[in-house]
Structure 1
Amino acid sequence: MLRNIPPILSPDLLQSLRAMGHGDEIVIADANFPATALASRCHRLDGVSATDVLEAVLRVMPLDSFVPDPALVMEVVDDPDAVPPVVGEFQKITTATADNPVALERLERFAFYDRAKTAFAIVQTGETRLYGNIILKKGVIGT
């Protein structure tokens, strides 16, 4: 057992988070996301919401402070200015939990998929709310 590690983070997911280097990206994806088809490493957390996973990941992983957009969400198709409720929650969690709170930036759906293909890992959650997808860029831990 370990202390201060959110229990929803599986051993395999913790290993990926630890193995990631500065600038590597991880995707937290909803249940509809084509994670297995896109990922070189796919971690499944069925039954767990994307918001819970985001909060858990941000408790152990720093966001990159050297880029303007270390957290990206998927734009709503045909309404790029829309903010789905789950994205509003992502913003609240990022603001409250991240060591480097940022405004979430948006990517068009297919650009998001292309970016996800290059991610270090994708976490497939049980999130059923549409557009419950976010990409996080790992930062560094300062001394």
Structure 2
Amino acid sequence: MLKGIDPLLSADLLYAIARMGHGDVLAVVDRNYPAHAAGVEVITLPGIDVTRLAEALFTVFPVDTFIPEPIGRMQVVGEPDTLPEVQRELFAAAETAEGREIGIEPIERFEFYERARSAFAVIATTDDRPYGCFLITKGVV
């Protein structure tokens, strides 16, 4: 048991993100994403949506400051400029925790799948809102 750490941040999740280095990428995905198909470590968070995860994650996970767009988002098919609520909420949580504006990279769906295969780990939420899929580059403390 740890004091001052959000209880949503399980031992498995903390262990995975603690092993990551600067520039490593973490995939955060919704329940529709084929998480295990990426072929990397998957941490499943039953009953947790993307927004709740983001609020907890960004209390301990630094977002990269060396690249212009350290958070990638899966584009809505046929509407690449649309920002679903789930995406706006994750971006707001990141910017609040970081105290700065954060660049966002739109990523076409199949390119997202390909890039997620190179992620350090995948955090699979059970958020049922579509397009709750992100690639987040870790920064330094």
TM range (shorter): over 0.9
Q: Which amino acid aligns with 2:66?
A: F
Cα distance between partner residues in 2 of 1:95 and 1:139:
14
| Alignment-derived partner of residue 93 in structure 2 | 93
Matches within 5 A, 1:46-125: 46-98=46-98, 101-125=101-125
> Paired residue for 1:130?
130
Q: Please state whether the residue corresponding to 1:4 is helix, strand or coil.
A: coil
Larger mean CA deviation between 88-97 and 22-31 belongs to 88-97
Is this contact kept in 2: 1:31–1:128, CA < 8 A? yes
CA distance in 2, matches of 1:123, 1:6: 16
Q: Is the 8 A contact 2:72 2:107 kept in 1?
A: yes
- Aligned counterparts of 1:101 and 1:46: Cα–Cα separation in 2: 30
Q: Deviations 1:99-120 (Å, cap 9, x if unpaired)?
A: 5540322100011111110000
- 1:71 deviates by 0.7
Identity %: 40
Q: Report Cα offsets for 1:15-34 as digits up to 9, x if no partner.
A: 00100001001011000001
Q: Which amino acid aligns with 1:139?
A: G
- Kindly state the Cα deviation for residue 77 of structure 1 after the two structures are TM-superposed: 0.3
Taking the aligned partners of 2:15 and 2:110, their CA distance within structure 1 comes to 28
Q: How does 1:11-30 map to 2 (within 5 A)?
A: 11-30=11-30
Q: Secondary structure at the match of 1:60?
A: coil
Partners in 1 of 2:42 and 2:67 — Cα distance? Answer: 25
The one-letter code of the counterpart of 2:13 is L
TM-score (norm: length of structure 1): 0.93
Structure 2 counterpart SS, 1:88: helix
CA–CA distance in structure 1, aligned partners of residues 88 and 123 of structure 2 = 20
Flag structure 2 segments of 5+ consecutive residues without an equivalent. none
Gaps of 5+ in 1: none
Matching of residues 22-41 of structure 1 within 5 Å = 22-41=22-41
Bigger CA drift: 2-11 or 14-23? 2-11
Deviating more after overlay: 88-97 vs 29-38 = 88-97
Aligned residues: 141
AA partner of residue 6 (structure 1):
D
Structure 1 runs (4+) deviating above 3 angstroms are none
